[in-house]
Amino acid sequence: MNGASPHLTAELAELLGSNKLGTLATVGQDGLPRLSVVYYANLGERIFISTLRERVKAKDIERRGWAALSVRGEEPPYPSATFTGSAVVRSAGIGEDTALVMGRIAGLPEPPEPQSDEALAEAGRVLIEVTVERVSAVTHV
């Protein structure tokens, strides 16, 4: 789930791909930052977060089109970085990407079978997709 790209060195790609929890930052309706701990998966510079449509993080992203994900390694010296970029809330064609996230949550070696868009919509689920455009606050990587 990782790989080098224009914004990700091999080390940054490894940090992003080897963790499954991060802190998502969005901008609330009042203009103040909002933070939420989330499970995520990534394919290169695309970060996926499955959430419920009514969650404020989804509404923030729909309104602002931006998010940042801070990721920290679990072993000393606790490498970390913040991955920032444009973000969208998707509800179509999300089965495979949602399965990637669910597989990470469950700790599965392979993602589970994807659900249909209809089944995910019935459950109220959408997919946040952040495209990494900048990496900052890099430590011990």
- Strand-pairing partners, residue 130, are 47, 87
Q: How big is the CA angle at 34 (ends 30 and 38), to the nearest 5 degrees?
A: 150
pLDDT in tens, 94-136: 999 999 999 999 999 999 999 999 999 999 999 999 999 999 9
Residue 46's pLDDT band, with cuts at 50, 70 and 90, is very high
Nearest to 42 by CA among 16, 65, 22: 16
d(CA 105, CA 98) in angstroms, rounded, equals 11
> What Å distances lie between residue 95 and 64, 98, 101, 104, CA to CA?
24, 5, 10, 14
pLDDT in tens, 3-45: 446 778 999 999 999 999 999 999 999 999 999 999 999 999 9
Average pLDDT of the residues in 58-85: 96
